[in-house]
Amino acid sequence: MLKQKKSVIYLSGLILIASVVVFYLVSHTNQSNKKNIYNGESNNWSASYTVNINETSNHKDNNLKYSNVISSNLCLSYKKYPKGSDTIKIIEYNLKSLSRKLRGEVNFSSQNKAGKVEITNSNKNIAYENGDEEIQLTIKWNGKEEVIKLKKG
């Protein structure tokens, strides 16, 4: 009987220690990866905007530390390629969401791959799109301008 009691106490102790270790590992560092893809098109352009979100939270000494790395890829495709694409030199883009803006210029004539150009961006600890919002993308080229509404797809 005494031997059986010792076994139960020993087993209970092991379960308690294992539970504490598992709780410690789970509660101290959490990491999640998300991917949001937005698509849209206008008369001359189609666009795809991919946002990769890597979030890390860490609980230590009753403090919560949070960080994220947001990498994005904006792919612009000229729908009438190859017709007229040789006259496109510079594309200006302006992407606006509720949480951030991405704007700039790209040399279409040197980066054009079969009528497509890709713009990549990476930032740390910034706000990002919630997934459901509509994003506005304005493209300017050769004195023309088109606005594309990007929606999660």
| Per-residue pLDDT reduced to its tens digit, 75-86 | 999 998 888 777
CB 59 within 8 A of CB 23: no
Q: Quickly state the pLDDT bin for 21 (edges 50, 70, 90).
A: low
CB 145 within 8 A of CB 138: yes
- Rounded to an integer, what distance in angstroms lies between the CA atom of residue 67 and that of residue 76? 30
CB 76 within 8 A of CB 92: no
Mean pLDDT score of the chain: 84
CB 107 within 8 A of CB 92: no
Which residue segments constitute the domains of the chain, with CATH numbers given? 30-152 (2.60.40)
- Condensed to tens digits (0 to 9), the pLDDT of residues 84-143 reads 777 899 999 999 998 889 999 999 887 777 889 999 999 888 887 777 888 999 999 999
- Rounded to an integer, what distance in angstroms lies between the CA atom of residue 6 and that of residue 17? 16
